[in-house]
Amino acid sequence: MASTAYTRPSKPPGPVGDRRQPRLAKELGRIEPKKLGIGLVAGCCLALLTYISFARLFAIYSPVFESTSLVMKNAPPASMTVPGTDAVPVQQKIEVDDEKDLAKEPEQVEPKEPGFPEETKTEDKEEEPFQKDEKEEEAVVAAKPDGGETPTPEAKMTCDENAVDEGFPYARPSVCELTGDVRISPTEKTMYLVNPSSAGPFDENGEKKIRPYARKDTFLLPGVVEVTIKSVPSGAAAPECGRRHSVPAVVFSTAGYTDNFFHDNTDVLIPLFLSASHHAGEVQLLITNYKPWWVNKFAPLLKKLSNYEVINFDKEEAVHCFPGGQLGLYRDRDLIIGPHPTRNPRNLTMVDYNRFLRRAYGLPRDVPAVLGEKTGTRPKMLMIERKGTRKLLNLHAVRELCEQLGFDVTVAEAGAGDVRGFAGKVNAADVLLAVHGAGMTNQIFLPTGGVLVQIVPWGKMDWMATNFYGQPARDMQLRYVEYYVSEEETTLKDKYPRDHYVFKDPMAIHAQGWPGIAEIIMKQDVVVNMTRFKPFLLQALDQLQD
């Protein structure tokens, strides 16, 4: 919890104009190396320390503080935005919520149809369910060595389990890929692999167990349904197929921090895109810790990824057979898809994900507006308003300034469950402006080349600002402007004297671990100084014209 390594004092944030944060050495290649000065090298050690200890902190708690009161919550959300009681540490809450939800879930679950009304055309693609008798079963198995008409591919399993991303311990969840005769028995929470050679990374019982939530987080994983892959020597040793599929299966969980839009994306949707989009819809999704409202909420994306109705792994009774499958999902850092030879062999990027989202939601704009006298087009800005914590108290004045500078401004609150509606508003904008928070995740809907403006509250929030939103913006080929508020621009100045460590040594807040961050940093509001802020808006304008 408290990040003990993280006690070193540091410089308070300097003047914003000439601010350029030291970054981790390994990140350097990705951030315009030419522009980085020598000072960077000096800052490196401190940055590394900060980096690792933050990562430890976030390996335990969600990086998106709004979600903490919702951890492990399975109930349908009131909305995507979160009430003001957001920053409560959740250590104790988990058992309670978990228990409650386990009891409650079955009644809430809609029987079978997770609300895919239009999705009937693909139904007939699925093979008819049928009951096979023993002889047919043997015939299929026997056909294999003779190279029958539909030979089962040779059994094989590979797992990616021990990979490490130093700064982001949660970014390398376990994944196993299987080919061959794969039989999934949801009631037993087991995937059988008919594997005559018994080769593969199995334990002494011929098993491999994984909790398939795409965030390797020791705090969360106990709440994720554990699925067993079992190696069996022959088809006779596996359950009979109730239903055969000609496409591979992907089994994953929607437990954990889902319902927070940041985590919906980082922990499920982006991993799913990374793991399954290459099947071009010819893949069967099976979801554990199944949340019907979640499946409904993201139905347009799930339908784009799979031509078949999602199977509720928690309730399904039939044994489903596949020519292959995957347990767990690959992922990378937050809102980032980096290159990797085995976890991302198709070289997908966040730009691909953005395009996928636009297609799924029917968002029209791939690039921002062309500005200029000729077109007479004004740049459109969407300001995300927060109503709980980290409010922009002088939002109206900021809006006026933006309009004076030529922006056509819309103000909206992220959330309200209507993903497509809000996605449309973001996609219509050229510039997205917001105070640090989960709503900034909506940058995924901006046209490529658009601008993200992040207002970063007081308290040495560089790591969070950069890793949760700034670096992802670059990864999405957005332009990125960050504005760090000064101590004059935070409501913390009404709570703490100026000689308090909150101002003199903000790193001391982080040294307290979660409680300090939640109680002090996350609960401030900001009042932006227009004189100071204006150049950043001009910068956003400039970048649109580049």
Ligand X SMILES: *[C@@H]1O[C@H](CO)[C@@H](O)[C@H](O)[C@H]1NC(C)=O
Position among 85, 131, 234, 347 found at the interface with ligand X (CB under 6 A): 347
Token pair of 346, please? 């198709």
Please give the residues from 22 up to 61 whose contact with ligand X meets the rule CB under 6 A: none
Q: How far is the CB of 526 from ligand X (least distance, A)?
A: 13
Q: How far is the CB of 10 from ligand X (least distance, A)?
A: 22
- Nearer to ligand X by Cβ, of 346 and 498: the residue is 346
Q: How far is the CB of 29 from ligand X (least distance, A)?
A: 14
Q: How far is the CB of 21 from ligand X (least distance, A)?
A: 20
Q: How far is the CB of 456 from ligand X (least distance, A)?
A: 16
Q: Coil, helix or strand for 243?
A: strand
Size of residue set near ligand X by CB under 6 A:
6
Asked if 92 is part of the footprint of ligand X (rule: CB under 6 A), the reply reads no
Among 104-112, 454-462, 528-536, 538-546, which window interacts with ligand X (CB under 6 A)? 528-536
Cα 173 to its chain centre, rounded Å, is 13
Q: How far is the CB of 400 from ligand X (least distance, A)?
A: 16
Beta bridge partners of 451: 431, 479
- Nearer to ligand X by Cβ, of 69 and 490: the residue is 490
- Nearer to ligand X by Cβ, of 60 and 350: the residue is 350
Q: How far is the CB of 346 from ligand X (least distance, A)?
A: 5
Asked if 529 is part of the footprint of ligand X (rule: CB under 6 A), the reply reads yes
Q: Is the dihedral of CA 266, 267, 269, 275 positive or negative?
A: positive
Among 100-108, 177-185, 221-229, 526-534, which window interacts with ligand X (CB under 6 A)? 526-534
- CA dihedral in degrees (239, 243, 249, 250; nearest 10)? -80
Among 32-40, 268-276, 452-460, 529-537, which window interacts with ligand X (CB under 6 A)? 529-537
- Nearer to ligand X by Cβ, of 132 and 279: the residue is 279
Tokens 């939640």: give the residue. 518
Strands 249-253 and 243-244, sheet pairing: unpaired
Q: How far is the CB of 532 from ligand X (least distance, A)?
A: 4
Position among 488, 495, 535, 542 found at the interface with ligand X (CB under 6 A): 488
Please give the residues from 114 up to 143 whose contact with ligand X meets the rule CB under 6 A: none
**Structural contact between residues 267 and 256, judged by C-beta atoms closer than 8 angstroms:** yes
**Structural contact between residues 460 and 13, judged by C-beta atoms closer than 8 angstroms:** yes
Q: Coil, helix or strand for 76?
A: coil
Question: Who contacts 124 (Cβ-Cβ below 8 Å, separation ≥6)?
Answer: none
Q: How far apart are CA 504 and CA 371, in angstroms?
A: 43
Q: How far is the CB of 356 from ligand X (least distance, A)?
A: 17
Position among 34, 35, 531, 546 found at the interface with ligand X (CB under 6 A): 531
- Nearer to ligand X by Cβ, of 451 and 527: the residue is 527
Give the type of residue at 148: G
44: alpha, beta or left? (left if phi > 0; alpha if psi -120 to 50): alpha
Q: Which 8-state DSSP code applies to residue 289? A: S
Q: How far apart are CA 88 and CA 22, in angstroms?
A: 31
- Nearer to ligand X by Cβ, of 121 and 346: the residue is 346
Q: How far is the CB of 275 from ligand X (least distance, A)?
A: 15
- Nearer to ligand X by Cβ, of 91 and 529: the residue is 529
232: alpha, beta or left? (left if phi > 0; alpha if psi -120 to 50): beta
Token pair of 426, please? 């973001």
Asked if 209 is part of the footprint of ligand X (rule: CB under 6 A), the reply reads no
450: alpha, beta or left? (left if phi > 0; alpha if psi -120 to 50): beta
Q: Kindly list the strands in the beta sheet with 479-484, ordered across the sheet, starting from the edge strand earlier in the chain.
A: 408-412, 380-384, 431-435, 451-456, 479-484
Token pair of 178, please? 């299987």
- Nearer to ligand X by Cβ, of 34 and 346: the residue is 346
Q: How far is the CB of 119 from ligand X (least distance, A)?
A: 29
Please give the residues from 250 up to 279 whose contact with ligand X meets the rule CB under 6 A: none
Q: How far apart are CA 22 and CA 497, in angstroms?
A: 29
Question: Who contacts 55 (Cβ-Cβ below 8 Å, separation ≥6)?
Answer: 166, 167, 168, 169
Q: How far is the CB of 543 from ligand X (least distance, A)?
A: 22
Among 46-54, 212-220, 510-518, 524-532, which window interacts with ligand X (CB under 6 A)? 524-532
- Nearer to ligand X by Cβ, of 189 and 534: the residue is 534
- Nearer to ligand X by Cβ, of 70 and 283: the residue is 283
Q: How far apart are CA 408 and CA 383, in angstroms?
A: 11
- Nearer to ligand X by Cβ, of 85 and 347: the residue is 347
- CA dihedral in degrees (517, 520, 526, 529; nearest 10)? -90
- Nearer to ligand X by Cβ, of 131 and 347: the residue is 347
User: 10 Å Cβ neighbour count for 349?
Assistant: 16
- Nearer to ligand X by Cβ, of 363 and 398: the residue is 398
Q: How far apart are CA 157 and CA 326, in angstroms?
A: 9
Site string for ligand X, 143-162 (x = CB under 6 A): --------------------
**Structural contact between residues 34 and 405, judged by C-beta atoms closer than 8 angstroms:** no
Q: How far is the CB of 490 from ligand X (least distance, A)?
A: 12
Position among 121, 135, 346, 498 found at the interface with ligand X (CB under 6 A): 346
Q: Which residues bind ligand X (CB under 6 A)?
A: 346-347, 488, 529, 531-532
